[in-house]
Amino acid sequence: MIKALFKKQLTEMFSFLWHDKKKNASFKGGKLAGMIITYIILFGIIAAVFAALSLGMCIAFTSAGLDWLYFAVTSLIGVLLGTFGCAFNANSSLYQAKDNDMLLSMPIKPSTLLFVRLLGVYAMGLIYEMLVMLPALVIYFIFGKASVTGVIFSILTTLIVSIFVLALSAIVGWIVAFISKKTKNKSFIAVAVSLVFFGAYYYFFSQASSLMGGFIEQAAAAGKELHNTLYPLYIIGSAFTGNILSFLIVLAVIAVLFGIIYFVLSKSYIKIVTTNKGEKKKKYTAQAIKAGNAGSALFRRELNRFTKSSTYMLNCGMGIVLMIAAAVALFFNTDFITQITTVFAQAEGIVALIACGMLCLISSMNDITAPSVSLEGKNIWIVQSLPVTAWQVLRAKLNLHIVLTIPPLAILIAAVEILITPSLIYAILIPVFCFLFVILSAELGLVINLKSPNLDWTSEIVPIKQSTGVLFALFGGWAIVLLLGALYFLVMTFIPPLVYLIIITVLLAAACLLTMMWLKNKGAKIFASL
């Protein structure tokens, strides 16, 4: 039973790699090869970043005889990345899957179902962790002094530490589920708890990055200090290097921790999954009802879906928080802006182009439209049967992305322009360009989702986070910014920054118009036929 359920969960989680939900058929030929190559390149780039980080640490730490410190640091980064990748989704995976009721009605023990759900979270956490640990292990095997015992124990310890990632993710998911069941605004509570975790995660890395240089420069002193003050890190690091006693201690501690967590989760699993204590019955109060138009009703429908799903908000609307946070951070740390304006003191246009690029990169963190069609799920027939056109439905999805992205972006733009004090023409062009970029990003997200919808899912994580369309929408925005930046370097010798900014603004406006026309005609037909 466990094998069948786990196979079903893995198939649902990773079906986007080989199955075309729109045609209900497997990818074949060039499309399958393209999918494989795309993900190999994506994971390769991420792994290369961590490999470069690991190389510097490996040479410094191993030359000082501090192999354990190398593994302590890399495993800690792996744990944080794995937990960060899964914690936001643990609640949806464990407690909010659409097939929970169906599976619980079958002769399946709740403990068995919980175990299988945890295996799914474990698999996802392991993937994130291995993005860090696999390059770290390879670098150590090549440049370190790895014995046969060290190789074996480093691999085994990596797998054991991944259970710790699962434990942390399960704790966050349980806290979110428990609190949300006790409150009315469940999704916002879930978002708040997750953002606290995200803030702690960011704070750690901001501190770690400032200390990493000192660690590498003074590896011996840093290692001795950590050995004395943070002994658990020494135990974890030495377990990787082949210390049998340390390995057994790590194994025992993580096994006990996971056992306790599993016991607590199993005792509250049914209660959390099947109850709704936070919901209160509303008393009907007679009042006048104002008639609204179809567009506003559809917009409220999209907004309601967004605000009722913590997974949707966290994964596709994180840019809202980041833009506001960036605006506030700029006024408390103006060094970054000062350095740019100082370097390009005689080239105001370069500063404006850099500002546009950074603003667009941050705004592209919002990809609200990318999964919006897929989130209709098997109930898409409901909106298709309403007396509204398909274009009205698509326009509501576009409007949600634009309305939720432009206000925080405007705040960030205002903060940037106050600090760089551009001339009037640039002060106008910067927001115009950025707003057009937001509109185009929203349109492209919708185009991609219409071309590759996934309406057959049991957990909203699948269309939101495990979707090829979302991946292309997110990295596609970054690619556009980088491409425009690279293009400027090719033409900068004969095209002034102001002229270039005007040209690409006009081209961006034309792209928005053409994409909008495609959505209104071809896109609407595709949506109506889904």
Can you list the residues of the chain whose pLDDT is less than 70? 1-2, 6, 8-32, 35, 87-92, 95-101, 176-230, 272-292, 335-347, 466
How many angstroms separate the CA atoms of 284 and 306, rounded? 25
- Cα–Cα–Cα angle for 464, 133, 156, nearest 5°? 115
How many angstroms separate the CA atoms of 213 and 338, rounded? 23
3-state secondary structure of 105: coil
Instruction: Domain ranges for the chain, please list them.
Output: 2-274, 294-529
How many angstroms separate the CA atoms of 530 and 526, rounded? 6
Contact 441, 477 (CB under 8 A): yes
How many angstroms separate the CA atoms of 308 and 329, rounded? 29
pLDDT, position 29: 64
Give the CA count within 13 Å in the CB-facing half-sphere of 442: 23
Return the HEC string of 116-178.
Answer: HHHHHHHHHHHHHHHHHHHHHHHHHHHHCCCCHHHHHHHHHHHHHHHHHHHHHHHHHHHHHHH
pLDDT, position 200: 60
Write down how long the chain is. 530
How many angstroms separate the CA atoms of 408 and 327, rounded? 9
What is the per-residue DSSP string for 13-36? HHGGGTEETTTTEE--HHHHHHHH
Tokens 């219409």: give the residue: 450
How many angstroms separate the CA atoms of 256 and 268, rounded? 19
Biggest CA-to-CA distance, the chain: 79
Give the CA count within 13 Å in the CB-facing half-sphere of 303: 12
Structural Rg of the chain based on CA atoms: 25
pLDDT, position 166: 85
* Neighbouring residues of 238: CB distance < 8 A, sequence distance ≥ 6: 68, 246
Residue at 149: amino acid letter? T
Give the closest residue to 249 by CA, choosing from 266, 264, 232, 262. Answer: 232
Q: Which helix (H) or strand (E) holds 25?
A: strand 25-26
pLDDT tens sequence across 292-314:
678 888 998 898 888 877 778 87
pLDDT tens sequence across 349-359:
888 888 898 89
pLDDT, position 409: 93
